[in-house]
Amino acid sequence: MPGAHSASARYRAVSLRALQPLGQHFDGAALLVAWCATLALGIGLGLASIAYGWSGLPLRFGGVDIYVTVYPPLIFCTLWVLWFGFWWGFVPAYMATLVLALYSGMPLGWSLLFAFADPLSLAVFAIAYRAIPMPVDLRSFTALAFFALISFVGGIFGATGSFIWTHTNALGIHDLLPIWQGWWLGGLLQNLLLVAPLLYLFSPAVSRWRDRHLGAISARPRHARGTLAAGAVIIAGVLLYLHFTVTLSAGRLDAALAGTDAQAWREAALATAESTSMLYWAVLILILFIAFFGAQLFTHWTGSLQKAARELSGTNVRLRREMTQREQAERELRQTADRLTAASASKDRLFSLVAHDLRSPVGAIVSLLGIIDSQIRELGNRELNERFGTLREAMQQLMRFLENLLHWSRLQLDQEQCSPQPVRLAEALETASGPIVLHASLKNITVERRVAADVVVRADPHMLQTMLRNLLSNAIKFTTREGFVTIEAAPQDGVVRVTVRDTGIGIDPEKLPDLFEIAHLSSRPGTAGEPGSGLGLLLCKELAERQGGELWVESRLREGTAVHFTLPAGPAATKT
């Protein structure tokens, strides 16, 4: 389809990086071989144009007898520029022209300068097609007219070499005008009659092969400055044409008027007629080409603006869609969070109900076991007494676990308010440690309470006693027989630091960070199978923070554990 061809058959600059590594890139190597062959063929055809006189075909144009230049190397170089980029055509064009100039006897310095004439015309093609995305397959009238315009302007710039050629060959003003006219007209006709058919026939296939096999890298993004530069080059070329036409025609007229005979006047009249005819055609071409280029420039800019507007509209649509999706995701996230919160609250309520319902029968069982244990003691059956003692201790641990679970659930449900007030720490410790100290004496564990009577803390009495009971129970539970448990308090910087220290089995320091993670609630790390869920310690940390303090643990395996917590100091502690 023509539309598909035009979409891909555009100017692309192939980077040398696309050809590396050549040893593993057959397509890149084939392209370089074809380019080297073109270079050799261009040099050969350039020499042939001199040997066979292709540079001076007679033609009458605009009322002037001119000599049209046909230069075959420029055909291949123009194709290379439009299909693969400027430098692919510049090198063979420069080398072929340089060899031709040296072969014709032009001095080396002038030859090096003269060789830039044809690459100038190729630069016009590269600038124009890079700035304005016009298809190079010439499948539309617009593409063909644009190619003709660029060929005309490129021919003007390339024809500047005629001045060097005329100078080095010692030709006069009568010969300069027809040579210059034939030079640019030959370039224009050569592009229209030879290059244009080749572009029409082979551009789609070459462009598809280039993009598929060589990974062609496009030229820099087109912008307004590039388009204006292309327009400036084209207008400069047309103005250059007008300048040279007027100047050379005036020079020829002055040379004709230098004579005094009738023949000189006839030559002057003929030169005036020829100059008038040429200026007419020049102005006509200038008007047509500038009008065409202005229309193309306007179309290109309006198309760019429309494309930018479409892209902006598409961006707005995407942003609105993304915002809608984000709002929907946020709603779903809030709904999920609400469901999780509700599920967590339901779980906490369930735990609270279970703990509450189990606490009464377990308490009754503990009381009944105490009565049975006292009766067994009277019978003097030591073995039976020890078994019932173990059973009663297990039930007491279960009772403490249920109380901790109930307390934790109430905290999570915000069903328990913290009411800080001045509390004497020694009195709270005496109340909380009574039954626990008795249990410690049965295990031959010494409990030392080093708390001064005047130490006062600001705490919730019920929460404080719950903390003391749990910490002392844990210390005794994980301390071997004939060990020590110490509780001490020290006021410092407006707080009271309480420490419960034991000589028990201790905890591996690497496992300390997991003590307060709910996901790791299990047997106490390093307890070697001792019973315990870790809920009591987690509950104590929560209670300490709710009362304005903090709790942390220090321990070493088989060296004991120290649990520290702080509470705001009361008035008595402040006085101390």
189-208 confidence digits (pLDDT tens): 888 888 999 999 999 988 88
Statement: residue 108 has pLDDT above 80? yes
Strand 495-502, strand 560-568: pairing: antiparallel
Q: Tens digits of per-residue pLDDT, 44-103? A: 887 877 777 666 566 665 555 556 677 888 888 999 999 888 888 888 888 888 888 888
Is residue 188 classed exposed, middle or buried when 0-12, 13-18 and 19+ CB atoms within 10 A define those classes?
A: buried
CATH code of 418-575, in short, is: 3.30.565.10
Q: Tens digits of per-residue pLDDT, 380-435? A: 666 776 676 677 667 767 777 777 776 667 666 666 778 899 999 999 999 888 77
Domains of the chain: which residue ranges?
A: 10-225, 418-575
Residue 164, token pair as written in the block: 């060097």
Annotate 299-336 with b (16+ C-beta within 10 A) or e (fewer).
ebeeeeeeeeeeeeeeeeeeeeeeeeeeeeeeeeeeee
Residue 313, token pair as written in the block: 């509209």
- Residues 377, 385 contacting (CB under 8 angstroms): yes
10-225 and 418-575: identical CATH topology: no
How is domain 10-225 classified at the CATH fold level? Arp2/3 complex 21 kDa subunit ARPC3 (1.10.1760)
Cβ neighbors of 570 (< 8 A, separation 6 or more) are 422, 423, 456, 457, 458
- The predicted model scores a pTM of 0.48
- Tokens 């030709």 correspond to 171
Task: List helix spans (H) across 104-223.
Answer: 108-114, 117-131, 141-158, 161-168, 173-190, 196-213
- Residues 349, 409 contacting (CB under 8 angstroms): yes
Question: What is the model's pLDDT at position 219?
Answer: 43
Statement: residue 280 has pLDDT above 90? no
Query: From CA 31, how far away is CA 41, in angstroms rounded?
Result: 15
* Residue among 522, 567, 512 at smallest CA distance from 540: 567
Residue 475, token pair as written in the block: 């210390």
